[in-house]
Structure 1
Amino acid sequence: MIRSSRTGRGHADRGGRRAGTASAAVAVLALVAVTAGCRAEPAGSASAAPSSPPASSSPTDDAKPGTDGTRSATPSASTKPSASPSASPKTTPKSTPPADPQAEVLMASGSQGKQVRELQARLRQIGHFDRTPTGYYGSVTVTAVQSFQGKRGLSRTGKTDSVTWQKLLGMTHTPTAAELNPPTTRPAAKPDKRCMTGRVICISKNSRSLSWMIDGKVVSSMDVRFGSQYTPTREGIFSVYWKSRHHVSSIYHTAMPYAMFFSGGQAVHYSSDFAARGYNGASHGCVNVRDEGKIASLFTQVRNGDKVVVYK
């Protein structure tokens, strides 16, 4: 994301104030593309990496399959339906039980915090949540809760009410520290040799991990994602030149909490979109972190001037 234009530093929209000819306007648009903002982009968007087109549907997609695995043919007008009394009766589909009106909603989409992290860890214990707990209640958590509710005969609301929570508590154990805060979803990469001295934010694109290192030792690691192929995260050696705890992009008007700027408008920052949807999206060049607790801790330790290494 691009930080506020009022600071006058590293902003892609500064050139918009210059009066000039049509060629100057083209130069400004080029500058915007080079500096690369950091708003999260959904997969398949104009700025995200292209994805395979969805298969087209046909008018017969809702036809019932035949016993041999093919779709059953529509009976002709001359064919009379059987009136045999021995024909088996239609099976009535099970109805979804109504939600308990007395149940208090404890957590729902958009909630975040320690209890959400515990919910995710407990769901993971019994196979309903297949990711590292993030502490953010996004679409993945909603689906996991619906799965748990459906298996236990509860209304599939996707919201964690008091009935759902008590049922989950009875089936799981109190999560350990490692279950609540695993190092990363995927193993952190072997540090680049440029990360082995001093205070370094060491970022691997291949492993999609960030390691905070001091004098060659890994202090903490976390999952990260990057810009799309059209707005790539720059690689090389940089340094943190500005920290902004509650930063909001002046171009996209989206939040960039715990932003640590290292190259123009590109920064390491927390992304609620990454926490909710994982790698189904991309940034406009920033390094997104999905674990808010981990980047909050990192933000307090990093100083202006600390080295940043981004490598393949």
Structure 2
Amino acid sequence: MGDIRRRGAVALGVGALVAPLTIAATATPAQAASCTATTGPYQKQVERFLGRTVDGKQSSGDCSAIRSFQTKHGITPNIGYAGPVTWGVMDLMNRQKAVGKNPNKDGKCPTNKGRIACVNLTLQLSWVQDGKKLVHGPVPVRTGRDKYETRTGLKKIYWRDIDHVSNLYDVPMPYSQFFDGGQAFHSVGLSMWNPPGSHGCVNMTTKDAKKYWSLLKNGDDVFVYGRKPGT
């Protein structure tokens, strides 16, 4: 890679484990299991979210719909049970949708920095803004799980590698834009709502990671704030 790779390796240090582990630890197939007939504690909420009849009673149709949702987003075990993890994902989706096109309504992401990428850990959303002008987003992201939290604060993109591969785990990290040691924006082939989260990086869909790549450059600010549910 030359000097830039060596400088990056020094800056990454142990943090280089972040993104590779994100993929390797969560890419296992959903567990195969039978559909449950048990009514879950969040049955009514889950039924309402999925557009099912809201009666608070598990049916074969409910179980099939819940199980399909769980499988899509990598929620295990995918047995169609309306439990806290499944409802937590759905509730987050509802709260993300409610933000609309005004993600910085609370004014917590700085508007005096020019172009800046904002990451709201609480809502698992990111966007790019210029001053008070929204440039792109908000888009759903997948940040660090408990004990591997994406670090908060004001940072700067210091290294970009469009075809980055972990030199420790030989795992691809496309469209990597590093902003804090081994923590970076990069794409993954997982649902953005796949629990429990990454090992510190800000995971994005390929589409969004490509857009961020086109909008940002070395030296641009990144501001991370809030707290991811469950951390």
Report the TM-score, using the length of structure 1 for normalisation. Answer: 0.44
1:247-258 matches, cutoff 5 A: 247-258=164-175
Counterpart of 1:232 in structure 2 is 149
In the comparison of the two structures, how many residue pairs are matched?
163
Q: Distance in 1 between matches of 2:146 and 2:3?
A: 25
In the TM superposition, what is the alpha-carbon distance from 1:269 to its structure 2 partner?
0.9
SS in structure 1 opposite 2:190?
A: helix
Pick aligned residue for 1:274 from 170, 191, 197: 191
Q: Which amino acid aligns with 2:26?
A: P
Q: Which amino acid aligns with 2:7?
A: R
Q: Distance in 2 between matches of 1:251 and 1:13?
A: 14
In the TM superposition, what is the alpha-carbon distance from 1:8 to its structure 2 partner?
1.8
Moved runs in structure 1, 4+ residues, more than 6 A? 3-6, 126-130
The 8 Å contact of residues 4 and 11 in structure 1, kept in 2 or not, is answered as no
The 8 Å contact of residues 109 and 118 in structure 2, kept in 1 or not, is answered as no
Instruction: Indicate how the Cα distance of structure 1 residues 215 and 256 shifts in structure 2: closer, same or farther if over 3 A, else same.
Output: same
Counterpart of 1:7 in structure 2 is 5
In the TM superposition, what is the alpha-carbon distance from 1:305 to its structure 2 partner?
0.6
Q: Please report the RMSD computed on the Cα atoms of aligned residues, expressed in angstroms.
A: 3.7
SS in structure 2 opposite 1:7?
A: helix
Q: Distance in 2 between matches of 1:6 and 1:305?
A: 15
In the TM superposition, what is the alpha-carbon distance from 1:251 to its structure 2 partner?
1.8
Instruction: Indicate how the Cα distance of structure 1 residues 298 and 186 shifts in structure 2: closer, same or farther if over 3 A, else same.
Output: farther
In the TM superposition, what is the alpha-carbon distance from 1:215 to its structure 2 partner?
1.8
Point out where structure 2 has 5 or more consecutive residues left out of the alignment: 28-50, 53-63, 75-95, 227-231
SS in structure 1 opposite 2:72?
A: helix
The 8 Å contact of residues 73 and 191 in structure 2, kept in 1 or not, is answered as no
Q: Distance in 2 between matches of 1:141 and 1:284?
A: 18
The 8 Å contact of residues 176 and 187 in structure 2, kept in 1 or not, is answered as yes
Q: Distance in 2 between matches of 1:42 and 1:203?
A: 22
Counterpart of 2:18 in structure 1 is 37
Q: Deviations over 1:63-95 (max 9, x none)?
A: xxxxxxxxxxxxxxxxxxxxxxxxxxxxxxxxx
Report the structure, 1 or 2, having the larger helix content.
2
Point out where structure 1 has 5 or more consecutive residues left out of the alignment: 15-30, 44-125, 131-137, 143-183
Counterpart of 1:205 in structure 2 is 121
SS in structure 1 opposite 2:199?
A: coil
The 8 Å contact of residues 12 and 35 in structure 1, kept in 2 or not, is answered as no
Counterpart of 2:202 in structure 1 is 287
Q: Which amino acid aligns with 1:287?
A: V
In the TM superposition, what is the alpha-carbon distance from 1:281 to its structure 2 partner?
3.6
The 8 Å contact of residues 237 and 310 in structure 1, kept in 2 or not, is answered as yes
The 8 Å contact of residues 129 and 141 in structure 1, kept in 2 or not, is answered as no
Q: Deviations over 1:210-239 (max 9, x none)?
A: 010112211112111211222221111111
**Greater radius of gyration (CA):** 1
Paired-residue identity, %: 27
Q: Which amino acid aligns with 1:215?
A: G
Instruction: Indicate how the Cα distance of structure 1 residues 185 and 271 shifts in structure 2: closer, same or farther if over 3 A, else same.
Output: farther
The 8 Å contact of residues 113 and 221 in structure 2, kept in 1 or not, is answered as no
Counterpart of 1:71 in structure 2 is none
In the TM superposition, what is the alpha-carbon distance from 1:282 to its structure 2 partner?
1.8
Counterpart of 1:140 in structure 2 is 72
